[in-house]
Structure 1
Amino acid sequence: MKQYGMVVDPGCMKCMDCISVCPNDALYFGFGKPTIAIPKSKAIKRSYSLTWPEEIVGAVVFLGSFLAVRGVYVLVPFLMALGCATITTFLTLKTWRLLRAKELSFYRFNLKSAGRIRRAGWGFLSFAVVWIGFNAHSGWVRYHEYEGDRAFQKIQIPDELALAQTNPDPWLSPIDRENIVKGKKHFQGASNFGFFVNSEALSKLAWFEYLSGDAEQSVQLLEQAAAHQEGQAKGLSLYYRGTILNRLGRYEQARTSLDQALAERADLILAREEKGESLWQLGREEEAISVWSDAVQRNGRLVVANNQLAGAAASLGRSAEAIVHEKQADKFTPNNPHYHWMIGLRLKNLRMNELAEKHFQRAIQLDPGFQVRRKRRPQ
């Protein structure tokens, strides 16, 4: 009414209530000019809680804060990250106004009066600085976690081949070596300066340490990671720890770690293969055969377990049984030189030399370049 001198709201129901209650009969019902033709008297200037620059800064702060805390330490889920980003944005904008405005209040608290920050204002400012600082630190940690994970995803060497011997360096490509250095740097930064333990990052750092030749450090990191994990993740960390301990010749410790892995995940058949290897190296041949047999019963397509059973049977003079398991293994063995070489290394570790030689020869047939690897293979 003040702007146009008439009701222009299309939602008006024409019920005449406004006319009947007008105290000075200023309203009436009749024909008038179209709204577009009515000049405004004095437009009321709208007031907004934020200026355009503040809205832009707020949007940038919100997005940055959300990305900083989303998934950090594998602790912050999506909705919690949204909440944290909202709080950070509010504190940032309110702090900016606290420093610039002469008067500012929040709820019933007077933060600043006559250009002077009050006690409540100092408390608010202190909390804001701590919160925003923690948010920025989380962003720094999240950046290192993200970059470390990117490097981890680019690793090309198969786990089975890397774990076939203590030193996987001969199998690493230049891309692998570059990503190992980069991944270690980022994960170590996140681990050393983070406020909380990221068990997922620890297990990936352990893999980088193993690939770079530090198996002992890898074992320690996997133990730390498993202590902060549950279920499937814990089972996998304990499995890798047991496997690396096997390669280091610490078979009793390996068996214990593999038993713990199977307690977390009974379906982890690869852990049964490694447990059988630990028992075989400890001189408990029949127990090893029992564990390998259990693995094969669960999955008859296991190439390594069938080869281990074939080698075990042959070493104990059970030729017929050895032939059966060897044929079963050959049925599912891919024609891949790296795979045959991996099997040869695994069998060589168990002193099943005759069967190991068969796979070394097959790898050389598929790729003559493996002849050079054989000459420099550690005995």
Structure 2
Amino acid sequence: PNDALYFGFGKPPILVPKSNAIKRSYSLTWPEEVVGALVFLGSLLAVRGVYALVPFLMALGCAAVTTFLTLKMWRLIRARELSFYRFNLKSAGKLRKAGWAFAIFACCWIGLNAHSGWIRYHEVLGNFAFQKIQVPDELALAQVNPARWLNSTQRENILEGKKHYDAASRVALFVNSEALPKLAWFEYLLGNAEQSIQLLGQAASYQKDESKALSLYYRGAILNRLGRHEEARSSLDQALAERDDLILARQEKGESLWQLGRRDEAVAVWTDAVRRNARLALVNNELAGAARSLGKLEEASAHEKQADQFTPNDPFYQWMLGRRLQALGMSELAEKHLRQAEQLGAGDGMPNER
């Protein structure tokens, strides 16, 4: 073309009139960018970890899709003309078939995110309440009703956590296999042992490996406290099938067998547990009580000394040992630990029952 090239001096950019400058075009206005950022953050928090199923990277992807659909829906409502790739969503102010399909999909997706946010909100608050529990497991499992260990603040916290887990489970689309055992523990601490057993069994059916083994162990331990020793033994066997190294399950299984009259088997299970971990104070005491009942006084003395070596000078731990041994009929050892609990200054904070 003619006169297409020019060589010479031109005006510096600062002197070029702004009217001649090319105006930039942005995909989003700044209010839309702010809304998009808030929607992305809210969606990420809503879906991350929900039902214990959604990992972080997947949550990022879901949040990106939610943000896009939200902004596109806003444009679909306000604009007279809108297209998406080769699909004409809206023309002359009227939605086309593609527009209706897009709107329905977007509403369902955004609604699912909002529902997930509601679930996650209750899950998080339930988890916070669970983390505030101060009653040790050993103390709670010393007898069938641990509610006596809860003061008014702790009880209120547990009730609040239970309320949140219940609210989430009522409208949940999936089962949260991590929340169920926590809800079961809330129920047990409140004295609802039967409900706790059902929830732990339900949780185990959705879990694998260590998580499943722990749910079955706690279920077996609670069944032992209720005197349902055959059911407890079965649950503990299932726990050990998942995790053979779960020594506490062996200790509880020994209690089940002892209460069922299968004392040789109980001693064998306890002996195996001590062989794996010699520092188990309760199991050594149980072996001492078993040996004493069989007239094996030297063996009983050896186990008792080993138990005392690893027993902390804590009144509540001593009380727990006394209660567990008392339930097995090992009265002499039980009285010893209950006396030590009193001497260590448990005072009014401990139930005065034998």
> What TM-score bracket applies, with the shorter chain setting the length?
over 0.9
Deviates more, 1:220-229 or 1:115-124: 115-124
Q: CA deviation at 1:47?
A: 1.1
**Aligned AA (1:351):** G
- 1:35 positional shift: 3.8
Which of structure 1's runs of 4+ aligned residues deviate more than 6 A? none
| CA distance 1:368–1:158, change in 2 (3 Å) | closer
| Counterpart residue identity of residue 169, structure 1 | A
Paired residue for 1:337? 315
Aligned counterpart for 2:102 among listed residues 124, 128, 143:
124
What does residue 343 of structure 2 align with?
365
Give 1:174 deviation, angstroms: 2.8
C-alpha spacing 1:334/1:268, structure 2 compared with 1 (3 Å) = same
Verify: 1:270 aligned to 2:248, yes or no: yes
1:325 to 303, 318, 331: 303
Asked if residue 194 in structure 1 is aligned to residue 172 in structure 2, the reply is: yes
The answer for the alignment partner of 2:219 in structure 1 is 241
How do 1:81-92 residues align onto structure 2 when only pairs under 5 Å count? 81-92=59-70
Q: Share of identical aligned residues, percent?
A: 71
Unaligned regions of 5+ residues in structure 1, if any?
Answer: 1-22
Partner of 2:258: 280
Aligned to 2:143: 165
Instruction: Tell me the distance in 1 between the aligned counterparts of 2:338 and 2:348.
Output: 8
Aligned to 1:101: 79
| Equivalent residues in 2 for 1:1-379, closer than 5 Å | 23-30=1-8, 34-40=12-18, 42-367=20-345, 369=347, 373-374=351-352, 377=353
Q: Distance in 2 between matches of 1:186 and 1:368?
A: 34
Task: Name 1:18's counterpart in structure 2.
Answer: none
Larger radius of gyration: 1
Structure 1 residues 102 and 261, CA gap change in structure 2 (3 angstroms): same
- The answer for unaligned runs of 5 or more in structure 2 is none
Paired with 1:56 and 1:372, the residues of 2 have a C-alpha distance of 57
User: What's the CA shift for 1:347?
Assistant: 0.4
Indicate if the aligned counterparts of 1:157 and 1:176 stay in contact, CA closer than 8 A: no
Local SS of the residue matching 1:199: coil
Deviation at 1:203, TM superposition (A): 0.7
CA contact (8 A) 1:363 1:370 kept: no
Distance 1:201 1:24 in 2: 78
Query: How far apart are the structure 2 equivalents of 1:370 and 1:215?
Result: 25
Structure 1 stretch displaced more, 34-43 or 98-107: 34-43
Shift of 1:94: 0.7
Distance in structure 1 (CA, Å) of the matches to 2:193 and 2:49: 29
Offset at residue 34 of structure 1 (A): 4.5
CA pair 128-33 structure 1, distance change in 2 beyond 3 A: closer
User: Matched residue of 1:164: which SS?
Assistant: coil
CA RMSD of aligned residues (A): 1.4
CA distance in 2, matches of 1:200, 1:341: 31
Offset at 1:39? 4.3
How far off is 1:175 after superposition?
2.9
Corresponding residue SS for 1:112: strand
Amino acid at match of 1:259: D
Structure 1 SS opposite 2:20: coil
Partner of residue 11, structure 1: none
Q: Distance in 1 between matches of 2:350 and 2:18?
A: 91
